């Protein structure tokens, strides 16, 4: 067993620790999950420092100054680590910390046992007989199920649950004098009724630290933070793709250039060669941003900002203001008013101005409402659909008291990839048409009437 074996142990222990922390957060309490994660991290750091110390004092260059310096640094790091461990024992559950601490050692023992078991005749016999192998897997599964039973029961006495209950009671307010405790409990639960999405990272942190100021700040600005994170990731991808441009693109640069080219061709097909170069940056960025926000909620512990009406209204108002600006700048004030009046050119047209002007004004005001509500409703509906089928999958196997359910939501995850893309495309297409209708048109051009007819009869 060399250093490569220890490196594999660290990688496996890291993944096992993350999975154990997620399971604990789901079936117990966030504070217990934090204890498991920090205990595993403490143990991995201790093993890394111990490995560094042993290599420094037993290596071929153990007498050299760099080896002595590494040994001293390893000892100092271990002392600091022990001090941090004492602090963690005071703040978090010792049982959760110990469970996480023993994860790397359990992985180490199991890997060593696997090295002894795999070449043995017993292992060959197990792998040759499918029925015997299935029986062994079933026994291991049953043992694992009974092993995690105390973890499920630990949620009753979890400190995080008490803090959450106190926070809920403080939110609900004091009970009326003489009111039974049960009624006060029910009154506190009335405020939490309604559809709930999957918990994201900020939600988990807020439930773990409900009284912390930074936790309340994150919870209050949750949607804005996720929207800014998506914008940052898009900018990062764009920066990486254009950092070292090649004449013959490949990899990320090729993918980004292909996407930009397809967007340019698509928008040019609507606006035409004359106007497209002016509006492709705005409309292309709008599509990419909405598309990324729609898909961001499919990542575990993330959230789609477009499932919040505040974000979709802000996007729709941006398009509305920009379209009006394009109309005022391209048509002028007189031309803009002429457009709102229906471009009257004869007596009948002028007689219809008192009717056409309010209709056009209301139509312009309805555009941001339709844009925002359509996007919000579809993305929020996707999230609720996934939550419903996850709940249904868990309820289906609830009689067996299993820690998982049927993955009924998987087909709808694939469908969400399609609908998220479609909704971003619909938002961009309608925004493009709204801008196109504000561009200058000549009376002899038949395109204006065709575009308005397309918009009126469009199924989207």
pLDDT per residue as tens digits for the range 162-172: 444 444 444 44
**Do residue 140 and residue 278 come from a single domain?**
no
Instruction: Please answer whether residues 245 and 202 qualify as being in contact, where contact means their C-beta atoms are separated by less than 8 angstroms.
Output: no
Q: Identify which of 333, 310, 321 has the alpha carbon closest to the alpha carbon of residue 431.
A: 321
Say what the pLDDT of residue 228 is.
Answer: 94
| Higher-scoring residue by pLDDT: 122, 375 | 375
Give a yes or no: residue 176 inside a domain.
Answer: no
Distance separating alpha carbons of residues 13 and 47, to the nearest angstrom: 11
- The answer to pTM > 0.75 is no
Q: Return the pLDDT at 145.
A: 62
Average pLDDT, the chain: 79
Same domain, 9 and 116: yes
- Residue range(s) defining the domain that contains residue 423: 225-456
More confident residue, 189 or 77: 77
Same domain (yes/no): 306, 439? yes
- CB distance 175 to 182 below 8 Å: no
Q: Is 142 exposed, middle or buried (0-12, 13-18, 19+ CB in 10 A)?
A: exposed
Rounded mean pLDDT, 383-398: 83
Question: Which of 1-15, 68-82, 204-218 has the least mean pLDDT?
Answer: 1-15
**Domain co-membership, 251 together with 149:** no
Q: What is the pLDDT of residue 233?
A: 94
Check residue 223 and give its pLDDT: 92
- Average of per-residue pLDDT across 268-279: 90
**Range of weakest confidence among 130-134, 178-182, 337-341:** 178-182
- Summarised one tens digit per residue, pLDDT across range 120-173 is 777 777 777 777 777 777 777 777 666 655 555 554 444 444 444 444 444 444
* Final residue belonging to a domain, choices 105, 136, 157: 157
User: Does the structure show a pLDDT above 50 at 62?
Assistant: yes
Per-residue pLDDT at 2: 60
What pLDDT is stored for residue 96 in this prediction? 83
User: Given a cut of 80, is residue 27 above it in pLDDT?
Assistant: no
Share of the chain above pLDDT 70, in %: 81
Across residues 379-398, what is the average pLDDT?
84
**Residues recorded for the chain:** 460
Residue 13 in contact with residue 104, Cβ under 8 Å?
Answer: yes
State residue 441's pLDDT score. Answer: 64
Average pLDDT over residues 350-366: 85
Domain contains 309: yes
90 is a domain residue:
yes
Using the structure block, give the residue that is written with the tokens 């109309």: 327
- Would you say residue 57 lies in a domain? yes
Q: Do 229 and 99 belong together in one domain?
A: no
Instruction: Examine the fold and report which residue of 108, 139, 157 is the final residue of a domain before the chain moves on.
Output: 157
Report how far residue 230's alpha carbon sits from residue 286's, in angstroms, rounded to the nearest whole number.
Answer: 12
Helices (H) and strands (E) in the chain, counts: 20, 0
Higher pLDDT, 449 or 433: 433
Interacting residues of 423 by C-beta distance below 8 A, sequence separation 6+: 290, 294, 306, 374, 375, 378, 379
Check whether residue 275 and residue 422 sit in a common domain. Answer: yes
Q: Is the pLDDT of residue 175 over 50?
A: no
Q: How far apart are CA 219 and CA 213, in angstroms?
A: 10
pLDDT at 192: 46
Q: From CA 326, how far away is CA 52, in angstroms rounded?
A: 65
User: Do 424 and 333 fall into the same domain?
Assistant: yes
pLDDT band at 179; cut points 50, 70, 90: very low
Same domain flag for 37 and 132 = yes
pLDDT of residue 294: 94
Q: Which of 62, 57, 75, 54 is CA-nearest to residue 3?
A: 54
- Residue where a domain terminates, one of 113, 136, 157: 157
Average pLDDT over residues 292-302: 90
pLDDT for residue 432: 94
Q: Are 211 and 167 spatial neighbours (Cβ–Cβ below 8 Å)?
A: yes
149 and 243 assigned to the same domain = no
Q: Domain for residue 203, yes or no? A: no
In degrees and rounded to multiples of 5, residue 423 shows phi and psi of -70, -35
Is residue 370 included in any domain, yes or no? yes
Distance of CA 200 to the CA centre of its chain: 7
Report the domain count for the chain: 2
Give the confidence band of 227 by pLDDT, cuts at 50, 70, 90.
very high
User: Has residue 181 been placed in a domain?
Assistant: no
Band of the pLDDT at 446, cuts 50, 70, 90? very low
Mean pLDDT confidence for 415-428 = 92
Q: What is the pLDDT of residue 402?
A: 66
Would residue 36 count as lying in a domain?
Answer: yes
DSSP sequence for 350-397: HHTHHHHHHHHHHHHHHHHHHHHHHHHHHHHHHHHHHHHHHHHHHHHT
What b-and-e string marks burial along 320-347, b requiring 16 or more CB atoms within 10 Å of the CB? bebbeebbeebbeeeebeebbbbeeeee
DSSP letters for 263-332: HHHHHHHHH-TTTHHHHHHHHHHHHHHHHHHHHHTTSTT---GGGSHHHHHHHHHHHHHHHHHHHHHHHH
CA distance 326 to 336: 10
Same domain? 281 vs 367: yes
Residue 186 confidence (pLDDT): 44
What pLDDT score was predicted for residue 353? 80
Mean pLDDT of 415-443: 87
pLDDT of 13 over the 90 cut: no
Which pLDDT belongs to residue 155? Answer: 45
pLDDT of residue 176: 47
pLDDT at residue 307 is higher than 70 = yes
Q: Are 409 and 389 in contact (CB under 8 A)?
A: yes
Residue 430 in tokens: 């309608």
What is the band of 195 on the pLDDT scale with cuts at 50, 70, 90?
low
Please report, for residues 79, 97, 432, the alpha-carbon distance to residue 48 in angstroms, rounded to integers and kept in the order given. Answer: 14, 18, 56
């Amino acid at each position: 067993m060399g250093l490569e074996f220890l490196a594999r142990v660290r990688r496996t222990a890291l993944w096992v620790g993350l999975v154990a922390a997620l399971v604990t957060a789901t079936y117990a309490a966030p504070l217990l999950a934090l204890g498991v994660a920090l205990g595993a991290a403490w143990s991995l750091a201790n093993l890394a420092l111990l490995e560094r110390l042993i290599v420094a004092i037993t290596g071929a260059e153990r007498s050299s100054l760099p080896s002595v310096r590494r040994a001293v640094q390893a000892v100092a790091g271990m002392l600091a680590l022990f001090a941090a461990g004492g602090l963690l024992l005071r703040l978090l559950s010792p049982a959760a910390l110990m469970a996480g601490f023993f994860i790397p050692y359990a992985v180490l023992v199991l890997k060593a046992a696997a090295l002894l078991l795999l070449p043995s005749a017993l292992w060959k016999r197990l792998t040759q007989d499918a029925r015997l192998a299935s029986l062994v897997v079933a026994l291991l599964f049953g043992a694992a199920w009974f092993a995690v039973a105390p973890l499920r029961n630990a949620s009753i006495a979890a400190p995080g649950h008490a803090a959450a209950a106190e926070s809920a009671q403080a939110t609900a307010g004091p009970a009326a004098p003489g009111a039974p405790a049960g009624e006060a409990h029910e009154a506190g639960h009335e405020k939490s009724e309604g559809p709930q999405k999957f918990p994201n990272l900020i939600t988990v942190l807020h439930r773990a630290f409900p009284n912390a100021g930074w936790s309340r700040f994150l919870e209050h600005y949750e949607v804005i933070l996720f929207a800014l994170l998506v914008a940052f990731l898009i900018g990062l991808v764009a920066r990486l793709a254009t950092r070292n441009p090649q004449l013959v693109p490949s990899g990320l640069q090729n993918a980004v250039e292909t996407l930009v080219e397809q967007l340019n061709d698509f928008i040019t097909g609507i606006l035409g060669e004359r106007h497209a170069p002016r509006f492709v940056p705005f409309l292309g960025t709008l599509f990419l941003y909405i598309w990324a926000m729609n898909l961001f909620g499919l990542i575990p512990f993330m959230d789609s900002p477009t499932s919040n009406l505040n974000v979709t209204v802000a996007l729709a108002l941006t398009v509305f203001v920009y379209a009006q600006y394009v109309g005022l700048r391209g048509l002028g004030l007189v031309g803009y008013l002429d457009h709102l009046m229906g471009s009257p050119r004869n007596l009948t047209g002028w007689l219809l101005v008192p009717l056409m002007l309010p209709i056009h004004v209301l139509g312009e005001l309805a555009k941001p409402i339709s844009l925002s509500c359509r996007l919000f409703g579809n993305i929020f509906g996707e999230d609720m659909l996934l939550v419903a089928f996850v709940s249904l999958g868990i309820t289906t196997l609830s009689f067996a008291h299993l820690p998982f359910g049927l993955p009924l939501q998987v087909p709808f995850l694939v469908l969400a990839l399609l609908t998220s893309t479609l909704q971003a495309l619909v938002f961009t297409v309608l925004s493009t048409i709204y801008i196109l209708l504000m561009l200058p048109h000549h009376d002899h051009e038949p395109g204006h009437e065709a575009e308005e007819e397309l918009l009126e009869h469009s199924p989207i």
